[in-house]
Amino acid sequence: MNIASQTTFIKQKAKQLGFDYCGIAKAEFLDEDAKRLESWLQQGFHGKMQYMENNFDLRTDPSKLVPGAKSVITLMQNYYPQQVQKTDRPKISKYAYGKDYHEVIRALLNEFLNAIKENIGDVNGRGFVDSAPVLEKTWANKTGLGWVGKNGMLITKQSGSFFFIATLITDLDLTADDPFAKDFCGSCTRCIDNCPTDAILPNKVINGSQCISYFTIELKDEILPEEMKGRFQNWAFGCDICQDVCPWNRFSKPTREAAFEPLPEILNLSTKEWLELDEEAFRKFFKHSPIKRTKWKGLQRNLRFVQR
């Protein structure tokens, strides 16, 4: 195949696999992102997420992840649910309603790479889905899929921001898409105004150490900071406030991926049942759910904190 044919195959295969968006960028060193990331880390906005300090050069140079890298393919899959929790329940972030997206999308990336090798030839490539030092949102912007909003999320004009982002770095020479050059947030500050912990700062800077998702998922301390008491608005795992209030998410459409449909327990458990959930039941219900990341003890800590 020539470059044009290879590019067409990539786009068509992505659609066949169920990805909602596919964009391509030339693999290059992310100079501006390197500066921003260094400043973000120096200000301690990563909190106790020490892993963010690791592999700095890998985050900004795709050739360090895939030698000879020429193209970065960004893939996006919608996870917006058909049904949402009742408002009186401990809140779970929508991305965690269904099966663990790492498992679902990793399998698709493996299938994608195998199809590329079968149809194009001996291709060197690696797929990543929130599991390696890749700046997914930057690449999504560079591949023309959307812009990074004030809440730090990748936003599309057509469907909002409720998407998982995966990255496929290869040594294939492909036709690059034009970057998404505009920012359609305008003067809107709804995400900033509605963040109860003031984690969203000006100039699209997110203080990760103040985010509800950080406290309820990333932070492993046995006790949550007392100064945050009463500010979580009943979020027990993650937080969607900055996405829920975003005007662009009025265009969100329910996912077509059955694996991301809500688990019955997430929709149906009452507050009392969440609090009485024992470790055995937790492991059974959430064996293939992102919620397992916080472990039973972590979820119980969160539930007690928001209900106290």
Q: Using the predicted structure, report yes or no on whether residue 132 has a pLDDT greater than 80.
A: no
Ranking 109-113, 126-130, 256-260 by mean pLDDT, the lowest is 126-130
Residue ranges per domain, the chain? 1-308
Query: Cβ neighbours of residue 32 under 8 Å, at least 6 residues apart?
Result: none
Of the residues 33, 61, 130, 244, which is catalytic?
130
DSSP 35-53: HHHHHHHHTTTTTT-GGGG
Using alpha carbons, list the distances in angstroms from residue 135 to 61, 120, 169. Answer: 10, 27, 12
Q: Using the predicted structure, report yes or no on whether residue 120 has a pLDDT greater than 90.
A: yes
Residue 235 pLDDT: 97
**Which residue type is seen at 200?**
I
Rounded to whole angstroms, the Cα distance separating 42 from 63 reads: 25
Q: Using the predicted structure, report yes or no on whether residue 232 has a pLDDT greater than 70.
A: yes
pLDDT cut 70: percent of the chain above it: 99
Mean residue pLDDT across the chain: 94
pLDDT digits (tens, 9 = 90+) for 85-109: 998 999 999 999 999 999 999 999 9
From start to end of the chain, where are the E strands? 21-26, 71-78, 91-92, 125-128, 147-148, 154-155, 163-170, 200-201, 205-206, 235-237
Residue that is written with structure tokens 């890998």 in the block = 58
What are the backbone angles phi and psi of residue 216, rounded to the nearest 5°?
-90, -15
Q: Is 198 an annotated catalytic residue?
A: no
Q: How many residues does the chain have?
A: 308
